[in-house]
């Protein structure tokens, strides 16, 4: 393969990657097929939990650093950043919805995807580096 062909291939792969990322960020994420309901958030509890009156929602598939009983100072600081970023995502939205997954509640919290103007805020937190995908068990945020 000559240099021109390599350059064209590289540009094509780059454009495909950007297109895929744009597509993933613009769709609701894992909420397809779920019934979504209007949401009026009254409080951001932390980077993966919001309140809407009596309803407490845990973002589905997301693990954000703790702000309540963090394991270390680094986790506390990261938790504040995640909480602030979540607040920005939802407060700037014109339309908020939540899509319950049907999973059993976790510590009294409804497990749901939260959409801000059709975009899954949990996925956005992960892409932006403020959270990670939930693996089914708590992982440390204290590693440097």
Which CATH number do you get for residue 82?
2.40.50.90
Domain presence at residue 50: yes
Domain presence at residue 143: no
Domain presence at residue 139: no
pTM: 0.75
Per-residue pLDDT of the chain in tens (144 residues, 90 and over written 9): 555 545 454 544 444 443 444 334 434 455 567 799 999 999 999 999 999 999 999 999 999 999 988 899 999 999 999 999 999 999 999 999 999 998 877 888 999 999 999 999 999 999 999 999 999 888 899 975
**Which residues in 58-84 are b (16+ Cβ under 10 Å) and which e?**
bbbbbbbbbbeebeeeebbebbebbbe
**Which residues in 94-132 are b (16+ Cβ under 10 Å) and which e?**
eebbbbbeeeeeeeebbbbbbbbeebbbbbbbbeeebbe
Q: Are strands 96-100 and 110-116 parallel, antiparallel or unpaired?
A: antiparallel
């Amino acid at each position: 393969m000559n240099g021109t062909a390599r350059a064209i291939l590289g540009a094509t792969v780059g454009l495909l990657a950007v297109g895929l990322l744009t597509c993933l960020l613009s769709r609701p994420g894992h909420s397809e097929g779920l019934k979504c309901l209007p949401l009026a958030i009254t409080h951001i509890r932390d980077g993966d939990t919001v309140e809407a009156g009596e309803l407490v929602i845990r973002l589905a598939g997301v693990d954000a650093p703790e702000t309540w009983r963090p394991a270390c100072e680094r986790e506390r600081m990261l938790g504040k950043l995640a909480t602030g970023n979540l607040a920005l995502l939802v407060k700037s939205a014109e339309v908020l919805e939540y899509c319950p997954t049907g999973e059993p509640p976790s510590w009294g919290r409804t497990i749901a995807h939260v959409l801000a103007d059709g975009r899954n805020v949990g996925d956005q937190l992960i892409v932006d580096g403020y959270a990670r995908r939930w693996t089914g068990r708590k992982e440390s945020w204290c590693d440097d």
